[in-house]
């Protein structure tokens, strides 16, 4: 996986596009610039970490349409919208759809850089969470039907004796299943198992 984040810039105005890219490069970010949404999509790899500085009005696919398309593709790249038009309803719309911010041109360089930092932090947090969920799901898929049943009862706080009575097994057998669940899920404590169960539930819902 490409682990150095890239700030992607999409603006059809070459002067604005180059100025933003040069600003980002000057403070040490990796940056790539595109003149259209289509050009960006042709190169986009969701495995590459980063964020997107996106002009609202573009020829062809607009910034708003690109946001919708990325969401439909389950591509969660954080987006900072930029616009030469002070359009409050549009700003509300993109923020509701998950944008990091909406900056009106001309904006202060510092404001953009702060938005980029926030967007990159969000991207990193999302990727770390997805990695954790992926690990938890891998463990969960190795559980037998009975182990999943036991796990469901364990995370509600029931002790072995109560679980044994509920599922019609001996307490010793429940203890063995419980140990297997903890081992396969890679959770050394009950609190860890509860957190893992929460992640699975959130993913499946």
Residue with tokens 């003149």: 35
The mean pLDDT of 8-24, rounded to a whole number, is: 97
In percent, the amount of the chain with pLDDT more than 90 equals 84
Q: Report pLDDT for 33.
A: 97
Give the DSSP H or E segment for 55: strand 50-55
The mean pLDDT of 46-55, rounded to a whole number, is: 96
Q: Report pLDDT for 2.
A: 53
Considering only residues 86 and 114, tell me which one the structure prediction assigns the higher pLDDT: 114
Alpha helices in 44-108 (DSSP H): 63-72, 88-96
Task: Give the whole-angstrom CA distance, residue 42 versus residue 37.
Answer: 9
Residue 6, pLDDT > 90, answer yes
User: CA 82 → CA 6, 18, 19, 103, distances in Å?
Assistant: 18, 14, 13, 5
Q: Residue 135's CB: how many other CB atoms inside 10 A?
A: 14
91: confidence class by pLDDT, cuts 50, 70, 90: confident
The tokens for 200 are: 């699975």
Q: Report pLDDT for 86.
A: 67
In percent, the amount of the chain with pLDDT more than 70 equals 99
Asked if residues 1 and 47 have their Cβ atoms less than 8 Å apart, the reply is yes
Q: Report pLDDT for 204.
A: 77
Task: Give the whole-angstrom CA distance, residue 172 versus residue 93.
Answer: 57
Residues 6+ apart with CB under 8 A from 54: 10, 63, 66, 67, 79, 80, 81, 82
- Rounded to the nearest 10 degrees, the angle between the axes of helix 14-26 and helix 109-141 is 70
Verify cis geometry, omega within 30 degrees of 0, for the bond prior to 106.
Answer: yes
Q: Report pLDDT for 84.
A: 87
The mean pLDDT of 60-76, rounded to a whole number, is: 94
Closest CA to 55 of 95, 16, 92: 16
- Rounded to the nearest 10 degrees, the angle between the axes of helix 171-185 and helix 160-167 is 110
Q: Which domains does the chain have, with CATH numbers?
A: 6-130 (3.40.50.2300), 142-204 (1.10.10.10)
62: confidence class by pLDDT, cuts 50, 70, 90: very high
Residue with tokens 């929460």: 198
Sign of the alpha-carbon dihedral angle for 34, 36, 39, 45: positive
Q: What HEC string does 14-54 produce?
A: HHHHHHHHHHHHHCCCEEEEECCHHHHHHHCCCCCCEEEEE
Residue 1, pLDDT > 70, answer no
């Amino acid at each position: 996986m490409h682990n150095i984040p890239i700030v992607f810039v999409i603006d059809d105005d070459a002067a604005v596009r180059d100025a933003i890219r040069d600003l980002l490069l000057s403070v040490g970010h990796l940056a790539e610039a595109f003149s259209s949404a289509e050009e960006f999509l042709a190169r986009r790899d969701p495995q590459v970490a980063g964020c997107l500085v996106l002009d609202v009005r573009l020829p062809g696919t607009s910034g708003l349409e690109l946001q919708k398309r990325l969401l439909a593709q389950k591509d969660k790249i954080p987006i900072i919208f930029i616009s030469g038009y002070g359009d409050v309803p549009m700003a509300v719309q993109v923020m509701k759809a998950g944008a990091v911010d909406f900056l009106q041109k001309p904006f202060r360089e510092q404001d953009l850089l702060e938005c980029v930092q926030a967007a990159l932090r969000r991207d990193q947090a999302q990727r770390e969470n997805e990695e954790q969920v992926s690990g938890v799901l891998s463990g969960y898929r190795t559980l037998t039907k009975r182990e999943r049943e036991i796990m469901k009862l364990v995370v509600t706080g029931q002790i072995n004796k109560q679980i044994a009575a509920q599922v019609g097994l001996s307490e010793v057998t429940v203890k063995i299943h419980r140990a297997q669940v903890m081992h396969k899920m890679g959770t050394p404590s009950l609190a860890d198992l509860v957190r893992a169960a929460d992640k699975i539930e959130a993913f499946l819902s």
